[in-house]
A = this chain, B = another copy of it.
Amino acid sequence: MTQTVEHTRERLLQAALRRFSERGFAATTVKQIAADVGLKAPAIYNHYASKEELLVAASTWALDAFQNYVLGQDDPSQGDVERLEGLVRRHVLYQLTNLEVARANDLVLDEVTMQESLPPEMSRDIRGRMRVHLDLLTTLTSSVIGSSAYPDARTTALAITTLCDRVNVWYRPGGPSSADEVADAYWVLAKRLLAI
């Protein structure tokens, strides 16, 4: 009871993240987000200037969390295959142990793929971040399969990251496989795509 206060701003961000990831941006109302943290709708505007700013904040937070986890642990002193394995495993594990954040990332990526949904500045930022991830994956893939491989490194890297990215679409927490088991299986699949 002493400091159940907790910073309202952060709790609003988490509530927004969950709502946006469940129903999408347009179908979510600020009233719902406010209610999730025990507030009336107008109180939100003491913390965020607009609903769109909430989307930007939530999306940025989700992308940061993903990249910190997946890319932050990459160790350039390791071999290329080991680095690829780490990227694949962490990508899968992240998707499966942070279903909400992962869904939010799917969502924001979708809104970037489409038009007008997000402020252009943020669209650029997001594209840039995804490029960092894909470029690293492509570089490592190229080292492993060679520069004249068919399909080429970019196509192969895209296939690998797509598989990892979509794992949360069909995975259900209570199901037969643990997240680690799925990560194992997906690294096997990735190795097949790399033909190693």
Q: Is the CB of A155 closer than 8 A to any CB of chain B?
A: yes
Q: Choose among B22, B163, B185, B188 the residue that contacts A163 (Cβ–Cβ < 8 A).
A: B163
When the two chains form their complex, are residues B117 and A151 in contact, meaning their CB atoms are under 8 A apart?
Answer: no
Tallying the copies of this chain within the complex gives 2
Q: Is the CB of A159 closer than 8 A to any CB of chain B?
A: yes
Which residues from chain B contact A39 at a C-beta distance below 8 Å? none
Which residues from chain B contact A155 at a C-beta distance below 8 Å? 185, 189
When the two chains form their complex, are residues A114 and B22 in contact, meaning their CB atoms are under 8 A apart?
Answer: yes
Interface of A is mostly: helix
Query: What's the Cα separation between A31 and B24 when bound, in Å?
Result: 21
CB distance from A141 to the nearest CB of B (A): 12
Query: What's the Cα separation between A172 and B155 when bound, in Å?
Result: 13
Which residues from chain B contact A170 at a C-beta distance below 8 Å? 158
Q: Is the CB of A124 closer than 8 A to any CB of chain B?
A: no
Chain A residues within CB distance 8 Å of chain B: 22-27, 113-117, 150-151, 155-156, 158-159, 162-163, 166, 169-170, 185, 188-189, 192-193, 195
